[in-house]
Amino acid sequence: MQLDPSIIAFVLLAAGMHAGWNALMKVATDRVVAMVLVNAMCAALGLILILMTDAPHRDSWPYLAATAAVHQFYFVFLVMAYQAGDLSHVYPIARGSGPLLVALLSGPLVGESLATGQAVGVVLTSLGIASLALAQRGVVRVQNLSPALWALAVGLTIAMYTIIDARGVRASHSPLGYVGWLFVLNGLCFVFWIGARPPSLFAAAVRQTWRQWMGGGLLTTGSYGITLWCYSIGAVAPIAALRETSVIFAAFIGSRLLGESFGARRVFAAAIVAAGVIAMSIRT
């Protein structure tokens, strides 16, 4: 099914916004404070969703608890990944390995088999991730494994919460209510992260950077909200596939705006990852 050009434009905007907040995370001087403030903004917007929509059905609450727990590991791994590596290196691996793991696990977990196009997508995504993880200066070698391993850990959590949320949102009978409660639960969980910094240092960091990270929270929720809105008026599979062009945006931002090395090679590898994810997202 073809997408309306306006939907394509909005999905690409959402992809760029998601890559943008990850770029902010990469350049943050204190990523723990940054993540706390981003989740605080998401929780505030989630509270608005809760007040405006129906409550999720009680059958979905175990899924909400599980996905909130998995998201805490996602945030920890994301902070560690950007501590260890570049945006143009980490982001495509993390975002590409999530759908890859979902595709590989969909058979044993939900009894789905891969179509031919999806199998091709698995191969392309694997090649793109391997290129990003192992290649430097034209030679494939095992080095800089720390950023790649953290990024793969991020991808694992993405796969886990994707599978959990796919079941939870169906059981909720209120997708927006489900999302609102997820944002609020993530924000509440992050209260405990405040103890990771001395109170005086945390307060000083908040005073210095709160505007930047409120903007990061708006980018996060805006990206998610735009994607959900597009799902409501267009075909889900091509929208989900097009959304993963964010890996190309991130590779471009990292190489061109942040001055990261191996820019052209990483943009090309990210494009391979995006092509693979798109192929996996459309059953043919």
Is 1 inside any structural domain? no
CA proximity to 26, closest of 276, 267, 283, 257: 257
Is 8 inside any structural domain? no
CB 34 within 8 A of CB 196: no
- 85: region left, alpha or beta (phi > 0 left; psi from -120 to 50 alpha): beta
Is 200 inside any structural domain? yes
Residue 211 makes CB contacts below 8 A (sequence gap 6+) with none
CA proximity to 37, closest of 240, 213, 237: 213
Its domain, for residue 111, covers 14-281
**In the beta sheet, which residues pair with residue 259?**
none
Is 254 inside any structural domain? yes
Is 9 inside any structural domain? no
Radius of gyration of the chain (CA): 18
CA proximity to 124, closest of 281, 2, 3: 281
Residue 123: CB atoms within 10 A of its CB come to 11
282 backbone dihedrals φ, ψ, rounded to 5°: -120, 115
Tally of structural domains, the chain:
1
Reading the block at residue 43, the tokens are 């929780």
Is 23 inside any structural domain? yes
Instruction: Give the pLDDT confidence score for residue 25 in this predicted structure.
Output: 87
Burial 145-173 (b: 16+ CB within 10 A, else e): eebbbbbbbbbbbbbbbbbbbebbbebbe
Residue 164 makes CB contacts below 8 A (sequence gap 6+) with 63, 66, 67, 70
Is 130 inside any structural domain? yes
Burial class (CB in 10 A: 0-12, 13-18, 19+), 94: buried
Distance (Å, whole) CA 138 – CA 131: 10
Is 127 inside any structural domain? yes
pLDDT tens for the chain, 284 residues: list them.
Answer: 456 788 888 988 999 999 998 998 888 888 888 888 888 888 988 999 899 999 999 999 999 999 999 999 999 999 999 998 899 888 988 888 877 777 777 655 555 566 777 677 777 877 777 777 665 544 445 555 788 899 999 989 988 887 788 788 888 988 889 989 999 999 888 877 776 667 777 777 777 777 777 788 888 888 887 887 787 677 666 777 778 788 888 888 988 888 887 777 888 888 888 888 777 766 65
